[in-house]
Each structure stands twice: as C-alpha cells, then as structure tokens.
Chain A
Amino acid sequence: MTAPAVAGHSVPVSPTPVALWRRARAVLLVGVIVVAAALVPALVSHPQPGRYADPADPSLDGSRALAALLTRHGVTVSRVDDAQEALAVAGPGTLILVTEASALNRAEAADLAAAPSDRLLVGPVPFLDLLAPGVTPKERGVWSRSRPPECALPEAVRAGSAYMGGTSFTAPAGATGCYPAPGGAPTLVRSTSGGRTVTVVGDGAYLTNLRLAEDGNAALALGLAGARPRVAWIVAPDEPDEVAEPGGPGAPDAPDAPDGDRTLSDLIPDAVPWAVAQLVVAVAVVALWRGRRLGPVVVERLPVVVRAAETVEGRGRLYRARQARDRAALALRAATAERLRTRLGLARGAPPEEVAAAAAARIGADPAHVRETLCGPVPPDDAALVALAGHLDTLERQVGHS
C-alpha cells in the first residue's frame, strides 16, 4: 500500500542431502534388517522337502524310523536308487520294497518281477500288473484311517488295527485280503506269484515317521518289511530329473528345428527384447519427469458451503415424499389468510372464516366458494392441491385489485 515493505529474506525449506540421509537412514536400516531377517534363515538352512518313504529321511514324510527299527531287528536295509541296483542285491533272502516314490519304467518293473525275491508294494505303484499279477486296483481314494485287520494274515493279526486306506484291490484266488475298505475290498493283499510272496498295500503312510508310532503301524511295517534278512528299498532318485514330455514347454532350443516349426519367438531378432527393456526405462524416466511436482501441494481450510434454503428444500421434499397434503394446504391457506388479513384490515387473530367472509364481500364472489378455498377440506390428490394453490393465488389477486 505504502512504501514497498521488504520482508526478511527467504529461508530454504527443502531438505539438504545430509538431512535426507539422516531422515532416510533409520528407514533404510529397518529395511535392511527385515530383508536380512528374511534371507539369512533361507540361506543358512536348506529346507529340502521331505523325501517320501525314504529310509534315510528324518522328516515327517520319510521313513528313517522304520529303517532304524529294521536294522535293530537284524534286517539289512539297502537303500537303492533304481531297479538295476535293486536287482544287484536281490536274491532269495531279499525283500524288494517298492513305493510310489520309486521311479520305474516298464522294463525295469518286468525285471523286478522276474527277480527271485519277495516284493512289498506300497501305495499306488505303477505296473501293478507286472509286479503283482492278479491284483488289480478296485477303488482309488479310499479314506485312510485306522482300520482293523479282519483277516488271518499273521503279521496283520499281530499288529492289530493299522492306518490303512488309499487304494482297495481285487485279490486273486488264493490271496489273503486284509484291512477291508467300507465296500469290503481289502486295502492289503498278500498273494503268491511264481513262488514269490507279493504284498500290496494301498497306502504307504503307515511307513512314515509321522504315522509309525500310531496303532499297530510299526508292528505291521516290521512284519511286512522285515520278513527277510535283507531289504532292497527302492527310493526316488536323488535328482528327480523329470523327463521332458514331448511337445511340452521344455526343450527351448531345438537346434535342428525345421523351418515350418519355428515359433514367433524364434523369428524376433535378439535385439528386440533389449529395445523393449530400454523403452521401459524410457517410460520410467518420463514418469519421473511428469511425476515430479513443482513444490508442495497447498492445503487450505475451506469454508463450509451450505445453502441456507436447504432446510426448506428438505421440508418440501419430505412433504412430497409423505404426500402431506394436509400440512401443505394448511401452510398455503395460512399464508394467504395472513396476507388477506393485512389487506382487508382485519385484526391479527381473525379466524379464517371471518377472512373468507370479508374477502367474498370485497370481491363480490360466492362466499361458500371463497370459504372452501380458504378453509375447506384437505385436497384429495396432488392435482387438487395444485388447483387449490391456483385458487388461493387468484383470490389474493382479486382482493388486491379490488
């Protein structure tokens, strides 16, 4: 207004790099601690998944407890990776233990079947037709639970009830079936094939460290697996090198793929993915450019914006919603009567009938009609209400002009 008043000079308020570092270091420290806490146990421990029914595995899925029991009972446990090794140790005094984890192909299964050893097949073992001729799976997905033996098999009788289920079988003639599923089909079948005793069990859970201590599981496992002085236990190979299925998404670089089989990704030059990555970088740079605000967001305490007429509008809507013609008509008539009172020079408290009479006399209209307009009944519908409002206006105008 007057001489330019120069205020004290400015104060920089942006944080300095040092201040930024000071502010961020606690957060960074916490972040580093969190990441370290997540990574270090993962790096230090090597949480291999349990190897199912592996005599060397101490996890809940493994069967190290059973192997230890067998060893204590004088049974030699040979842990073998595949059928060839098993055949190397197989003999009349050997029991070959095959579980669903054992990786066999058909030829190996046939070789095993030809070996002069007893066989114990646990779980859904493939090539059951070769390994246990005559035993066929009847129903899969039988609920595994503690079941009574209900047969004369000595091992089963000794063990009593055990954790059985998985698959039920149709036993061949002369075979013994134990631990029947609800349908009556056994989940353990002992048969003889070519002079070898073959035992098929629907579920291998009773062998695992998890279940071994329950029921008669341990006794049954000992009875079945310790029947011979030596067990050739075929486990899953160390490196489960899954064979690539033909036509699957494996085998990325088929070197001699004929021209017709080249996919779209083979046709794209090598530089294109890199260029796309560079474009992503460019988008990020543009995002940084556009995202950087020029100064802080300014906040302001805004005044409340309320129209003073809102309460009246609300009351009008309420009248409409409830179809309150009685109140609406009353308000309109009272307002008109009030104005007419002033105009006709009547007292403030004059009743509406008196106003009607005076107004009718003034304009020379039918007193009954004026009276009905000013203090008649409640209009029966909305149209009558609109009409009443019109009549009141007309009456007021006529009195005004008289």
Chain B
Amino acid sequence: MALTGRAGLLAALGAVVVLLAPRPGLAMAGVALALTALVLADLTLAGSVRGLRLYRDGDRLVRLGESVAIGLVVENPGSRRVRGVLRDAWPPSAGAGPRRLSLDVPSGERRRLVTTLTPTRRGDREAVAVTVRALGPLGVAARQGTHHVPWSVRVLPPFLSRKHLPSRLARLRELDGRHPALVRGQGTEFDSLREYVVGDDVRSIDWRASGRRGDVVVRTWRPERDRRVLIVLDTGRTSAGRVGTAPFPLSGASAGPRGANGTGGVDGGGGRDGAAGWPRLDWSMDAALLLAALASRAGDRVDVLAYDRAVRAWLSGAARTELLSSLVNVLAPIEPELVEADAPGMVAAVLARARRRCLVVLLTDLSPSAVEEGLLPVLPRLSARHLVLVASVADPRVAAMASGRDTAGQVYDAAAAERLRGERRRITSLLRRHGVEVVDALPDDIAPALADAYLALKAAGRL
C-alpha cells in the first residue's frame, strides 16, 4: 500500500479540527479514526494490482546512440478500474524514460504504454521490474505491487567508422579493378585465359595454352582472394582505459561515477559530457568492424576472437552477408576484464584456431610493460606462421600533454608524456624488428588507419 498527499493534507486539516473542537483529545481520536477509515475504504476499493497481466513488445536490438521504443501492454482482468501510476524500471544505463507513466485501465480492457530506451553504453540491458500504484476512488491511499516482465535489449556497438567504408571500398575496387589485370605481380593470382586482342602485353601470352587452343591466348590476373583475416581483441585491463572523447553524451559514465571523472581530469577535461572518454575496447571494436566489413567485401574470410585470460568471444565461418550483424551481436556484451591479459594463452588460442596462414590483427595497447613481458616473448611463435599486425589506440591526451610548455608543471607533464611516447616508439621498433606490422593511431583515426594498413598489405600481396 501507499499513502498519497491527500492523506497528509487531511491529517494536517485534522489539526485545525482538533484546535477548534471543544474536546480536543476526543477530536484527535475521531480524526485518526476517520483517516484510517478513509484509507481502508480506498484500499478496499482500489483496483487489484496483483491481478494485472503485463506483456512487452518491441525491438530487442538497438545501436548505441539510437533510441528504441518498448511497448508495455497492461491488461486488467479484474472487476475494478486500475488508475494510477506505473514505473517501468530499467538499469540506469538503459536510459529509460519517462520515469513514471500514468495508467488508467478500465475493467476488462488493456492499454499500451511506451517506454523509450536511449542506452548510454554497450551490452545487454534487462528489464528489472514494473511497479504499479493503483489509487483508490478517494485518492487517499493506493495499492502498490511489482511485476516482473522479462525483456532484454542488446545494445550494439555503434560502428561509427562505417562512414569510412565507401572510400576504402573504392580503394579496394581500384586495387582489384573489377577488370582483371594482365600484369602479374605481387598480390595477384591467376584468374582466367582469354583471347589475345591487339594492345595486350605480349609478355602475358600463355604459349602452352595457345598451343593447345590453336589461337593466341593471354593469361589474366586478379588480386588474391579468399585469404584469412583473424581479428584478435585484447579485452584485458589495458582495454578498460578511457581515451579520446566519448561520441555519445554520458557514454560509459552514466550518471553514477561523476565524481570519478572529476578526479581524472587535471586541467580541463572534467566539464564536458563524455570527457571521461571511451574505453579502448570500444575504439578497437569500431576498428575491427570496419576491417571486417572491408575484408569480407574483398573476399577474405574474417574470424574474430576476443581474449583476455579466456576466450570471451569467437566468431568463425560467418557467411559474408551475415558477418557484420553476427559480429556486432557477438561483440555487444563484451566488457573489459580488469585482469592482465594472458599473452601466451592468446597466442595458443590463435594457433589452435588458425591452421592455415592468415593475417592476425591484434588490437591491444602498446603499453611498454604489458608488451615487453607478455607479448614479445611469445610473438615469434605467432609471426613464424602468420602475418601479424598489431593495432593500438594512442591517447590524444598524451599528445596534448607533450606539447604543454606554459608552466613548469606542464613541462614536467610534457616530459612524462614524451617518456611514454619514447617507450611506445621503442616497442614499435622492437615489434617491427620481429616482422610485425604496427598501427598506432589516435582514437578517431584508428579505424581508417587499420583499414589502410590492410589495403596496403593486400596491395603488396603479403596476405
């Protein structure tokens, strides 16, 4: 049950009655009795909340940054009208609104209410509970009850970098030409034989085939296809670090850890929404999505592995048309784990899954200690069989700190930033010495930079 403001108002008016009555003690008892009687009558006459039946309908998938409407059908099989308020409770980061809905369902009818979710971070959001407060006819007291109406919405990664896809696809088309090339070179494979026409390079004449056919025949070539790309996402502790500016207001840091933001930003940074940044993992996912989209269009097979100390996600053998949707589905619920990533385990997992030579794209952080102790010792095992590309999201804040010159404090910060950048350069050169490609780019550039690196490798025929 619940009382309303009217009950409080009646009780306060009762004080006036008590003040003016000739027998105040008796009057007070009378007021209390009357109020209790009103409350009891209201509770008795209010519609039954327990008997309500609720159903949901609506979408189960939403991209981060978009909104989704979830319908809630309230059916009242009871004999009395249910009038009052309803709260559809979702976790805070689901961004559910409005907070309370007014409800008026006559007996035997149903009404549909709509809750709009605007999620502020990736992952699965489960509906928590629906609470109904049914007022009595006097509006003095209300029955209140909670129902569990299961529903879950999966918030998918936003794939912000899809804006870069058309230009990269154009580059890809340039690369493979749609028209088979006559020039044999790196990154091409045999396509077909066709008749010689004037103007063809005589060097591309296939004399053996010409002998068989009795006609002059040239060979044509096309860029290599059906290569394998294995994208490995490091979901260890370094992937939880926030970099850049979150693309959506309150992304990741929904209302709750506001205080934590303030301690993070030293000079500036604390004020704007999304100043806490976006986790490295989300930027990495964005880059992985662009790369997967591009590679699948280029005719390569794309597998995805997410790993920290165990396999968090593994997607293999998805059909080309289904790849992106299954990929966002697989990646959506992955959260950074606050443990040190297990590099030997990761390498073993990759080796166990990739029998044939493939391009292993490792999306991790080039933090000196983690790479030197974890990845470097086991990298040769990987690079012996596969082509390895390490991609890392650099922190724009470090770049900004490195250019600070105004005060002594800023210069000390700049020295610290330069030190970190020096370490990263050293790690990069160490990795390159192992025959590993390295992409180290700022959050906004990591996806196109990774796509370009892939295209360059493809053009060079190194897949």
Residues of A at the B interface (CB closer than 8 Å) are 1, 4-14, 16, 270-272, 274-279, 281-282, 284-286, 288-289, 292, 294-296, 298, 300, 302-313, 315-320, 324, 327-329, 331-332, 334-335, 338, 348, 382-383, 385-386, 389-390, 393
Within the complex, the shortest CB–CB distance from B77 to chain A, in Å, comes to 11
Please report the C-alpha to C-alpha distance between residue A270 and residue B21 in the assembled complex, in whole angstroms: 11
Chain B residues whose CB sits within 8 angstroms of the CB of A389 once the complex forms: 405, 411, 414
> Which residues of chain B come closer than 8 Å to A316, judged between CB atoms?
401, 409, 412-417
Q: Is the CB of B129 within 8 A of A308?
A: no
Q: Report which of B35, B238, B276, B397 forms a contact with A305, defined as CB distance below 8 A.
A: B276
Q: A308-B242, A319-B412, A335-B418 are in contact. Are A295 and B58 (CB under 8 A)?
A: no
Q: What is the bound-complex CA distance between A369 and B330, given in angstroms?
A: 59
Contacts of A300 in B (CB 8 A): 91-93, 256
Query: Which residue on chain A has the smallest CB distance to residue B420?
Result: A312
B204 at the interface (CB under 8 A from A): no
Asked if B194 is at the interface of the complex by the 8 Å CB criterion, the answer is no
* B441 adjacent to chain A (CB < 8 Å): no
Q: Which residues of B contact A308 (CB under 8 A)?
A: 238, 241-243, 277, 280, 365, 395, 397
Residues of chain A with a CB closer than 8 A to B25's CB = 274
- Is the pair A309, B53 in contact by a Cβ cutoff of 8 Å? no
Give 24 CB contacts A-B under 8 Å.
A4-B57, A5-B57, A5-B60, A7-B150, A10-B52, A10-B54, A14-B145, A271-B19, A271-B20, A279-B12, A289-B5, A303-B252, A303-B336, A304-B338, A305-B242, A307-B243, A309-B243, A312-B417, A319-B416, A328-B412, A328-B415, A335-B402, A335-B418, A389-B405
Is B61 an interface residue, CB under 8 A from the partner? yes
**Nearest CB to that of A386 among chain B residues?**
B411
Q: Is the CB of B144 within 8 A of A292?
A: yes
Q: How far is A393 from B406 in the complex, measured between Cα atoms in Å? A: 13
Residue of A nearest to B252 (CB): A303
- Assembly CA distance A222 to B161 (angstroms): 109
Question: Whole-angstrom distance between the alpha carbons of A312 and B348 in the complex?
Answer: 32
**Among the interface residues A7, A312, A385, which one has the most CB atoms of the partner chain B within 10 A?**
A312
Give A298 to B127 CA distance when docked, in angstroms.
Answer: 10
B413-A335 in contact (CB<8A): no
Structural contact, B419 and A331, CB atoms closer than 8 A: yes
B2 on the A face (CB < 8 A): yes
- What is the minimal beta-carbon distance from B166 to any residue of chain A, in angstroms? 25
Inside 8 A of A9's CB, which chain B residues have their CB? 53-55, 149
Contacts of B242 in A (CB 8 A): 305-308
Q: Which residue of the partner chain, among A5, A295, A302, contacts B257 with CB atoms under 8 Å?
A: A302
Residues of B in contact with A (beta carbons under 8 Å apart): 2-5, 7-8, 11-12, 14-21, 24-25, 27-28, 31-32, 35, 49-50, 52-61, 71, 85, 87, 89-93, 100, 121, 128-131, 133, 144-151, 238, 240-243, 252-254, 256-257, 260-261, 264-266, 276-277, 279-280, 335-336, 338, 365, 395, 397-398, 401-402, 405, 407-409, 411-422, 425, 429
Partner of B148 from the list A13, A278, A338 (CB cut-off 8 Å) is: A13
**Whole-angstrom distance between the Cβ of B104 and the nearest chain A Cβ:** 17
Closest to B397 in A: A309
Chain B residues with CB below 8 A from A319, complex form: 412-413, 415-416
B61 to chain A, nearest CB (A): 6
Q: Do residues A12 and B3 form an inter-chain contact, with CB atoms below 8 A?
A: no
Q: A289-B4, A335-B421 are in contact. Are A298 and B71 (CB under 8 A)?
A: no
Complexed CA–CA distance, A278 and B149 (Å):
42
Q: Which residues of A contact B56 (CB under 8 A)?
A: 6-7
By the criterion CB–CB under 8 Å, are A271 and B18 in contact?
A: yes
Which B residues touch A289, using CB under 8 A? 2-5, 7-8
Contact B90 A298 (CB under 8 A): yes
Asked, given contacts A10-B130, A305-B261, A331-B422, whether A313 binds B413 with beta carbons under 8 Å apart, the answer is yes
Shortest CB-to-CB span from B93 to chain A, Å, is 6
Chain B contacts of A309 at CB under 8 A? 243, 395, 397-398, 401
Residues of the A chain whose Cβ atoms lie less than 8 Å from the Cβ of B53: 9-10
Contact A312 B89 (CB under 8 A): no
Q: Which residues of B contact A390 (CB under 8 A)?
A: 405
* Cross-interface CB contact of B31 among A8, A270, A278, A348, cutoff 8 Å: A278
Interchain CB contact under 8 A, A286 and B418: no
Give the docked Cα–Cα distance between A67 and B55 (Å).
88
Chain B residues with Cβ under 8 A from A331's Cβ?
415-416, 418-419, 422
Asked if B408 and A386 make an inter-chain contact with CB atoms under 8 angstroms apart, the answer reads: yes
A4 to B131 alpha-carbon distance, docked (Å): 23
Most buried by A among B87, B261, B419: B419
Chain B neighbourhood of A296, CB < 8 A? 89, 128-129, 131, 146
Would you call A348 and B11 a contact (CB within 8 A)?
no
Complex CA–CA separation, A382 to B28 (angstroms):
77
Residues of A within 8 A of B411 (CB): 328, 332, 382, 385-386, 389
Q: Please indicate the chain B residues that have their CB under 8 angstroms from the CB of A334 in the complex.
A: 418, 422
B21 contact from A271, A284, A292, A332, Cβ within 8 A: A271
A274 touches B408 (CB 8 A): no
Among A1, A277, A294, A348, point to the contact of B87 (Cβ < 8 A).
A294
